[in-house]
Amino acid sequence: MFIRHYIIMLLFACVATHGISQNMRVALFYQEQADGFVITTQKRGYKLAVGDSVIMQLPSMTNLRIHKTDSLVQVKTDSLEFAGYYIRLVSDSTSGFFINAIHSEKKARVYTGDLEFFNDMAVLHAVNIVPLEAYVAATVEAEGGYNAHPEYYKTQAVLCRTYALRHLHKHEAEGFNLCDGVHCQVYPSKSMDTDIIAATKQTAGNVIIDTSFQLINAVYHSNSGGITANSKDVWSSQLPYLVSVKDTFSLSGKHATWERRITLTEWRIFLENNGVNTSVMKNEDLKHKLKTRIPSIKYGAVSIPVKEIRNYFSLKSAFFDVDVDVDGEHVLLSGKGYGHGVGLSQEGAMNMAENGYPYEEIIAHYYSGTTVVNLKLLDIFRGLDKIH
């Protein structure tokens, strides 16, 4: 064991971060299920291909309209019209394109890389083939917002990259890796934020692994309220790196606390529906003071999971005190944090970054027993696991 860890440390110290040349296939407008798309290529132009056959080099700023026909994909430009099973726009350099669902009133989106259209049963797919790191930067921009600290952006880049590579097969049956919605990671446009692009580049290829050298489930939420949640209390499975940790870094975040008032009648009905006999309970008996996160609140012999209370009342978190309001007619829920509470707290991570913590330490704080490693070393690490 000691030798193995010594070798790992040596390797890690000697190798700089490197990206990999992997491309991601991401379905655009996945939720919309559009019947067609309008595309405008940017200045450097694209090649238009049917299957593997290039039809023409597109001049800059070419407008294309893509439609679904019975079984084919139809493409129209100002000068030509044809159809095929696979229509492709092949990038010749760092070209980009604007794309919008047909008849959409929203703004067109802009991406880089290739674009492929094909029908999957009744659905026309628009799949962007994009280098991993460009995809990661775009998802960091969508999840991390603007004007954050560079170490926070690096943290989020490692999380988004780990997610993408762990879920490469999520939409495999449909002909792509990931979709562009919250089901996978939100991918609304390419990143144009120079800080985010730089942070992504500086962590290129870096991912988070557990003690079995597997990519972790790098879940995160907005604010932990001072203590993160165990994964088994929120979902059914307990992962060793998704265990509750004290998190004072989140306490100064803007979502550190919340309040919600519910009528006493509503609260009593909810408890009754969950098997609590409230007819014998005074208002005083309804109170609960939580010193820490707990999986469920007990009323007599009845335990009600806090996640069920959160879902039922659409609360910001499952970490709250129950009190009877001074008016005697309402229950006051005083809560901490925002989100499911498992894994990394984004506001806590931002605070750590602003206080000088490097992204590896931020990740280690929220994901117990994990390591940040470059993809190029991962196979070596897994090989070393066999050394005992």
- In angstroms, the CA 128 to CA 188 distance is 12
Residue whose entry in the numeric block shows the structure tokens 């009528």: 263
The minimum distance between CB 171 and Zn ion, in angstroms, equals 6
- In angstroms, the CA 93 to CA 83 distance is 26
The verdict on 160 binding Zn ion (CB under 5 A) reads no
- In angstroms, the CA 313 to CA 310 distance is 6
- In angstroms, the CA 366 to CA 61 distance is 46
The verdict on 183 binding Zn ion (CB under 5 A) reads yes
The verdict on 179 binding Zn ion (CB under 5 A) reads yes
Q: Which is nearer to Zn ion, 187 or 241 (CB)?
A: 187
The verdict on 27 binding Zn ion (CB under 5 A) reads no
Q: Which is nearer to Zn ion, 26 or 75 (CB)?
A: 26
Q: Which is nearer to Zn ion, 142 or 333 (CB)?
A: 142
Residue whose entry in the numeric block shows the structure tokens 């012999």: 301
Q: Which is nearer to Zn ion, 5 or 183 (CB)?
A: 183
- In angstroms, the CA 350 to CA 150 distance is 9
- In angstroms, the CA 114 to CA 138 distance is 16
Residue whose entry in the numeric block shows the structure tokens 């094909």: 118
The verdict on 31 binding Zn ion (CB under 5 A) reads no
Q: Which is nearer to Zn ion, 153 or 220 (CB)?
A: 220
The minimum distance between CB 229 and Zn ion, in angstroms, equals 24
- Cα 214 to Cα 45, 153, 211, 245, 381, distances in angstroms: 40, 23, 7, 21, 10
The verdict on 199 binding Zn ion (CB under 5 A) reads no
User: Which of 101, 96, 134 minimizes the C-alpha distance to 115?
Assistant: 96
CB 207 within 8 A of CB 133: no
338-341-344-346 Cα dihedral, nearest 10 degrees: 0
The minimum distance between CB 181 and Zn ion, in angstroms, equals 6
The verdict on 184 binding Zn ion (CB under 5 A) reads yes
Candidates 16-24, 75-83, 174-182, 245-253; binding stretch for Zn ion (CB under 5 A): 174-182
Q: Which is nearer to Zn ion, 176 or 338 (CB)?
A: 176
Applying CB under 5 A, what is the total number of residues that bind Zn ion? Answer: 3
- Tokens (6 digits) for 209: 């692994």
Candidates 120-128, 184-192, 276-284, 304-312; binding stretch for Zn ion (CB under 5 A): 184-192
Q: Which is nearer to Zn ion, 39 or 179 (CB)?
A: 179
The minimum distance between CB 165 and Zn ion, in angstroms, equals 15
The minimum distance between CB 169 and Zn ion, in angstroms, equals 11
Q: State the residues that interact with Zn ion by CB under 5 A.
A: 179, 183-184
